[in-house]
Amino acid sequence: MAARLEQYADRRPWLTDGAIVLALLGGAILGANLATPDGDRPKNVWVAEVLAVVACLALFRARQHPRITVVVTTACVVTTGGMGYLMTPLLLAPLMVALYWLAARTSSATAWTYGGAATALVVAVAIGFHIDGSVLLRTVGPALWLLLPLALGSRSQLHHAYLDAVRARAEYAERTREEEARLRVAGERMRIARELHDVVAHHMAVANAQAGTAAHMLDISTETSRKLLADLQGTTSNGMLELRATIGVLRHADGADADTLEPTPGLAQLPALLEACRSAGLTVDLQTAGAARELQPGVDLTAFRIIQEALTNATKHSATPKASLQLAYDASRLTIRVSNETSDASSRREDHGGYGIIGMRERAKAVGGHLEINGSSTGFEVLTSLPLHIGPPALPYIATEPGR
């Protein structure tokens, strides 16, 4: 209920202030007509009533100019007290409201400085020049009535500051969530782009090499051409199946229809990859050092995709139909070395880097590994070091280099 009243007052400040002023004006006029305990009533009541009207009307500017309002209401109250009127809460009410707005709208130092001065003046007028047994009552009463709105106004200011801080923290948390969501979306886009690039680029490169070889051998050996075309059909079929599996994983990320999807590629599919390269005219010499270790799924996929991309580049740019693939296992890491001979032109193209090389670097970095590209006028080498066990995930790296 109190919260709704406060919201209503904030939406309609002039109407709220008008109601408060009317109520205070009625009380101030009533206080000006009260008699003292001895039955005496000061003369010139109309002057006190005029001062009460001025003090109440000044409250319309209390929100915008709290200091001036306190000065005006203090002057009116002190003048009324100097005329001999009893300092009752009815006469002090306009000053009390002004002190409340002063404490709620200004700093604590300003509020207590102005409030202390106003309280001291009112108490001094209340004491006057007659020191008797009622001096304590005439002193403590006005002081407490004037210090109360200062405390309430300070509490209101602290409450609003707390609400503003809570609102700011909520907005910051919302912005943080949005930023995190954007980073996740960017990372997911990069992952999708890498998967589609690896699938499409490899199979299309192999299919292009197979088609070119088949066309070249068509007039020389019909049997060889027939076998190459059969391999071409298998390459394109495998490419479509793997592309469908990749898109299926993205489409059914919640695990639905998981049984219908192909298994995630890994080094277990390496023989099929080497056979596809062989059918495209690239012979790969595979050498393994150390005992083969079972890899975590992320490392296994990363190793396969890096080898696939490196051999795809070798298929397109190798100066000879040969490439070398070396796998070296040790206690904690897997080292992959793919090398081939290149012509000067292809070597210069490799030096610039492209989406394929960028993708390999990103994959290696994502699992805590490292990838180096070593190119010269006669050879090209991809050297990768991958951990056998993945540590804490890193933030996604978004590449901005030009593509190949």
Q: Collapsing DSSP states into helix, strand and coil, what is residue 332?
A: coil
Q: Are strands 318-329 and 379-387 parallel, antiparallel or unpaired?
A: unpaired
- Across residues 362-380, what is the average pLDDT? 83
In angstroms, how far is the first alpha carbon of the chain from the final one? 67
Cα 354 from chain centroid (whole Å): 31
**Spatial separation of the C-alpha atoms in residues 292 and 127, rounded to whole Å:** 99
| Domains within the chain, CATH numbers bracketed | 2-129 (no CATH), 178-387 (3.30.565.10)
* Dihedral sign, Cα of residue 295, residue 296, residue 301, residue 306: negative
Q: At residue 1, does pLDDT exceed 50?
A: no
In 10 A of CB 297, how many CB atoms?
11
Single pTM value for the model: 0.42
Which phi and psi angles does 120 have, rounded to 5°? -60, -40
**Spatial separation of the C-alpha atoms in residues 327 and 306, rounded to whole Å:** 12
pLDDT band, residue 403 (cuts 50/70/90): very low
DSSP string over 154-218: HHHHHHHHHHHHHHHHHHHHHHHHHHHHHHHHHHHHHHHHHHHHHHHHHHHHHHHHHHHHHHHHT
Lowest model confidence (mean pLDDT) among 60-64, 194-198, 289-293, 376-380:
194-198
- DSSP annotation of 39 reads S
pLDDT band, residue 198 (cuts 50/70/90): low
Element (H, E) at 374: strand 370-375
Q: At residue 65, does pLDDT exceed 60?
A: yes
Which phi and psi angles does 100 have, rounded to 5°? -60, -50
pLDDT band, residue 40 (cuts 50/70/90): low
Helices 297-317, 344-352: axis angle to 10 degrees equals 140
Q: Which residues pair with 329 in a beta bridge?
A: 334
Q: Are strands 379-387 and 333-342 parallel, antiparallel or unpaired?
A: antiparallel
Residue 246 pLDDT: 60
C-alpha dihedral, 375 to 378 to 379 to 380, nearest 10°:
30
- DSSP annotation of 329 reads E
Q: At residue 157, does pLDDT exceed 60?
A: yes
Residue 326 pLDDT: 92
Q: At residue 402, does pLDDT exceed 50?
A: no
Element (H, E) at 333: strand 333-342
- DSSP annotation of 403 reads P
Candidate ranges 47-51, 248-252, 321-325; pick with highest mean pLDDT = 321-325
**Spatial separation of the C-alpha atoms in residues 36 and 210, rounded to whole Å:** 115
- Across residues 63-67, what is the average pLDDT? 86
Phi-psi region of 290 (alpha: psi -120 to 50; beta: other; left: phi over 0): left
Average model confidence (pLDDT) across the chain:
75
Whether residue 31 contacts residue 97, with contact meaning beta carbons closer than 8 Å, is answered with no
Residue 44 pLDDT: 75
Residue whose C-alpha is closest to residue 372's, from 364, 384, 389, 356: 384
- Across residues 168-193, what is the average pLDDT? 76
**Spatial separation of the C-alpha atoms in residues 131 and 129, rounded to whole Å:** 6
Residue 249 pLDDT: 54
**Spatial separation of the C-alpha atoms in residues 305 and 326, rounded to whole Å:** 15
Of the two residues 391 and 386, the one the predictor is more confident about is 386
- Across residues 329-358, what is the average pLDDT? 72
Q: At residue 392, does pLDDT exceed 50?
A: no
High-pLDDT (> 90) share of the chain, %: 6
Give helix then strand counts, H and E, for the chain: 12, 5
pLDDT band, residue 384 (cuts 50/70/90): very high
Token digits of residue 75: 């002057």
The residue type of 273 is L
Q: At residue 145, does pLDDT exceed 80?
A: yes
Residue 237 pLDDT: 64
Residue 393 pLDDT: 45
Residue 383 pLDDT: 92
**255-291 per-position pLDDT tens digit:** 444 444 455 678 888 888 888 888 778 888 999 998 8
Helices 45-58, 13-32: axis angle to 10 degrees equals 160
pLDDT band, residue 328 (cuts 50/70/90): very high
Q: At residue 193, does pLDDT exceed 60?
A: yes
* C-alpha pair distances (Å), 219 with each of 9, 121, 233: 94, 117, 20
Q: Which residue has the tokens 């409340």?
A: 100
What is the Rg, in whole angstroms, of the alpha carbon atoms belonging to the chain?
Answer: 43
Whether residue 280 contacts residue 206, with contact meaning beta carbons closer than 8 Å, is answered with yes
- DSSP annotation of 394 reads P
- Across residues 219-223, what is the average pLDDT? 69
Residue 278 pLDDT: 83
Of the two residues 377 and 303, the one the predictor is more confident about is 303
Lowest model confidence (mean pLDDT) among 11-20, 31-40, 148-157:
31-40
